[in-house]
Amino acid sequence: TIDFLEVYGYDKNYDFSKLENPKLDSLVEDIAKKKKSWNEIEIDKKEKKIKLAEGQRIDLGGIGKGYAIDLAFNHLKNVCPNFLINAGGDIRSSGKNLENKYWLTELKTPDGSAGQIELENMSLSSSGSWARKVKQFHHLIDPRLGKPVEKNYSTVFVLGDTSIKTDTWATALFILGQETAESKADGVSAIFL
C-alpha cells in the first residue's frame, strides 16, 4: 500500500497538497493496474531470502509500531517488572501500577471514550480512520482498491499477548471488516466501535 499512501501525501514530507491534484483518481488507478500481487514474492526458506518482483516494495507501517513496542517491552522486563508502554493507540502492560492494580486504559473513539479496559500483562492495539485523517482521506488503504477504507465503524481494538500481533490484527481487521473478521480471525479478541 506504500505507493497509494505516497500518492495521497502520506510520505516522509506529509505533502497533503497532493490531495488537490485533479488527476488523483487516475494516478490511483494507474498504480492499481501496475501493482504486483504478494503471490509474486519469491521466498527461499532454505537460504532465508526473499525476492520482490520489479517495482514491489515492503511497507512495515501496519506492524512497525507493534514491533518497536515489543522490543522495548523485552528490554524493560529484565529491568523492571511493572510498567506500561503507551505508543499512542498501541499499549503493552507488565505487572501492576503504583496503586498495585492492573493498568486501566481508555478505549478512545472520535466521540470520546467508549469505556475503559483493565490490562493484565497484555497488549492493546487500535486502528482507526479518524486520528490521521486529512479531509476525506485517511491512512488505512484497502490494497485491493487503492483507496481509503470506508466502514460503518471508526475504530478496531485488539487484545493479545504481543503488540506485533495486536497491531497487525487491528490494521488487518479494520481493512477486512467485521463480517470477514468473524471468519478469518478465529481466536482474536477484537472490538469494533
Query: Residues 6 or more apart from 137 whose CB is under 8 A from it?
Result: 8, 9, 16, 19, 148
For the chain, list the domains and their CATH numbers. Answer: 1-59 (no CATH), 61-193 (3.10.520.10)
The partner residues of 107 in beta bridges, in order of sequence, read none
pLDDT score of 181: 74
Indicate if the pLDDT at residue 137 is higher than 90. Answer: no
Q: How many whole angstroms separate alpha carbon 152 and alpha carbon 168?
A: 20
pLDDT score of 96: 96
Classified as helix, coil or strand, 132 is coil
User: Would you say 173 and 158 are in contact if contact means Cβ atoms under 8 Å apart?
Assistant: yes
Q: What angle do CA 132, 133, 134 make, to 5 degrees?
A: 125
> Chain-wide mean pLDDT for the chain?
85
Tell me the pLDDT tens digit for each residue of 28-68.
888 888 888 878 899 999 999 999 988 888 888 778 899 99
Tell me the pLDDT tens digit for each residue of 158-192.
999 999 999 999 988 988 888 877 777 777 898 88
